Amino acid sequence: MNNTTSVLSQPLIFVGPPRSGVTLISDLVFHHHDLCWLDNNFEKHPKSDWQHRLFRHASEWRNLAVNRSSLLSEMAKQCSPVPSEAISFWDDATRDDIDFDRGFLRGKHATPLEISTIKDVLEKRLILSRKAQLALRFTGPSRLCFLHSIFPDAKFVNVMRDPASTVHSMISSEQWEYQGRHLLWWRGAYSLQELAQYDMLRDHAVAGTAFQLNKLMQTTKQEAQELDIDMITIHYEDFVKQPQDTIAQILSHAELPASETINAALKQNEIRGSNKVLKMPATDINTVYTWCPAL
């Protein structure tokens, strides 16, 4: 990593649609000993100095769980922190019109007060946990405009997956049944024409989900081009074929050295591509690509 005066220099930020592999890939990279990330305890107590110091030891326990095969490592695994997007932290630290849970935040910028508030908490976390570089993850809308206004030198990793596989996984999840299966789940980026278009699709789960997925992917691409974001795109299918090469590409982008702990975590995880999409009716597959052409 470049030596600069800022504690939060060049944070590594993962983005991508749900069910695209962004959680799996980022969780593996978060095993890097230099990275400081947000966990479920941070989400509960984001301003706790004790919690920040505890994270240093808890993350070491997490790495111990993948570096050794023993009863102790199993205990470490059970006590390890779980990476989190900490959406409640971002919602609490931002103004009322910033919806980090469901908003695209298209064209939205952080105010000086928001930037100061967010950076104060995250800087303290890095210092007290004795980590070198911040790492974050966001699924759904990438929120590039807003995040770039806070971290202009951030290094983004955009994780994508074949649209048919992603849509199949989304509509198969119980969570999506109560979210975007029959309504527009994410808000703030649709034109009136697009809203009218979706209104005709809302009763068709496959088409409606593909429509929303397409908006996620297109918005990320547009914002990255408009802002000249320092971003690489990782395809989940390439990761499945060559996981070590994909991880090496991400670490190179983040200017991080290789990590034996990540390699150990890779060996413990069953990295595979789901072929359940092949069980989708051909008409459904065609519907997906009609409303969400692969980028």
pLDDT at 56 over 80: yes
CA gap 100, 85 in Å, rounded: 10
pTM for the structure as a whole: 0.93
Counted residue by residue, the chain has a size of 295
- Asked if 178 and 62 touch (Cβ cutoff 8 Å), the reply is no
CA gap 50, 97 in Å, rounded: 31
Nearest-10 crossing angle of helices 22-29, 243-253: 70
Q: What pLDDT is recorded for position 64?
A: 78
CA gap 231, 241 in Å, rounded: 22
Instruction: List the domain boundaries for the chain.
Output: 12-291
Q: What pLDDT is recorded for position 4?
A: 41
Say whether domain 12-291 belongs to CATH 1.20.120.
Answer: no
Q: What is the pLDDT of residues 179-227, one digit of tens each?
A: 999 999 999 999 999 999 999 999 999 999 999 999 999 999 999 999 9
**Mean pLDDT to the nearest integer, 253-269:** 92
Q: What pLDDT is recorded for position 3?
A: 42
**Coil, helix or strand for 18?**
coil
The most distant pair of C-alpha atoms in the chain lies apart, rounded to whole Å, by: 58
